Chains A and B, each alone.
Chain A
């Protein structure tokens, strides 16, 4: 099992360029998440998908779009990158969080994005 994989690991963009961050999980999880992590800010939720076919905004969705392509894959798109989007991006997956016994989110290794 690879767990949660993300590509690319690093990316440098110029302001206004677009790109898609890819995420896949092989644990048959229903829910998937995109976070960004900035110094001193912890993890902030961008978008999430509670199940295949649904997506919802998180805390900081502006400037991003997502696609839950199938149960395995959840991509994050920056249509027109801005320097404020320089961050480390983490994808995560979990079983349905409503069930108390299913609580753990598994994180991917992260993508370090720099926008100049």
Chain B
């Protein structure tokens, strides 16, 4: 059975800190891994990673995939209160045409 596990489940830091969120997976026919940010309502897409070792970057957010060890990390540097959200990791099963989501990490940035 496909499984995606995120850690930590909850994280509270101060503004300006750097955080690292983890996502490990066991999926048959792995195709790609996606990160989403969910604030008050619907998740919004951040990154998709397909190749191992290639960092994706958008401003203060970056992510990298390790296909050998079956995990990904999402880094956020110089955190701001607007980064407070649930961060969801999902893995695409190539054959099944569906995403398998992790439980999410609830990140709180205190001023």
**Dominant secondary structure of chain A at its interface with chain B:** loop
Check if B50 sits within 8 Å of A58, measured CB to CB.
Answer: no
Minimum Cβ distance to chain A for residue B56 (Å): 12
Q: A103-B48, A109-B41, A109-B42 are in contact. Are A43 and B101 (CB under 8 A)?
A: yes
The complex places the Cα of A58 from the Cα of B48 at a distance, in Å, of: 22
Q: A110–B99 Cα gap in the complex (Å)? A: 18
With A41-B103, A42-B88 known as contacts, the answer to whether A104 contacts B97 (CB < 8 A) is no
Whose C-beta in chain B lies nearest to the C-beta of A4?
Answer: B42
Residues on A with beta carbons closer than 8 Å to the beta carbon of B102: 42
Interface size class of A (residues with CB under 8 A): 20 to 34
Q: Does A50 contact B (CB under 8 A)?
A: yes
Q: Is B32 an interface residue (CB 8 A)?
A: yes
Pairwise interchain contact B101-A42, C-beta atoms closer than 8 A: yes
- B34-58 contacts to A (CB < 8 Å): 34, 41-45, 48, 50
Main SS at interface, chain B: strand
Which residues of B have CB within 8 Å of A97?
31, 92, 97-99
The 20 sampled A-B contact pairs (Cβ below 8 Å) are A4-B42, A31-B97, A33-B99, A35-B101, A40-B103, A42-B4, A42-B88, A43-B88, A43-B101, A45-B100, A48-B98, A59-B100, A96-B97, A97-B99, A98-B94, A100-B50, A103-B92, A104-B45, A105-B45, A105-B99
Interface residues, chain A, with chain B CB atoms under 8 Å away: 4, 31, 33, 35, 40-45, 48, 50, 58-59, 90, 96-98, 100, 103-105, 107-110
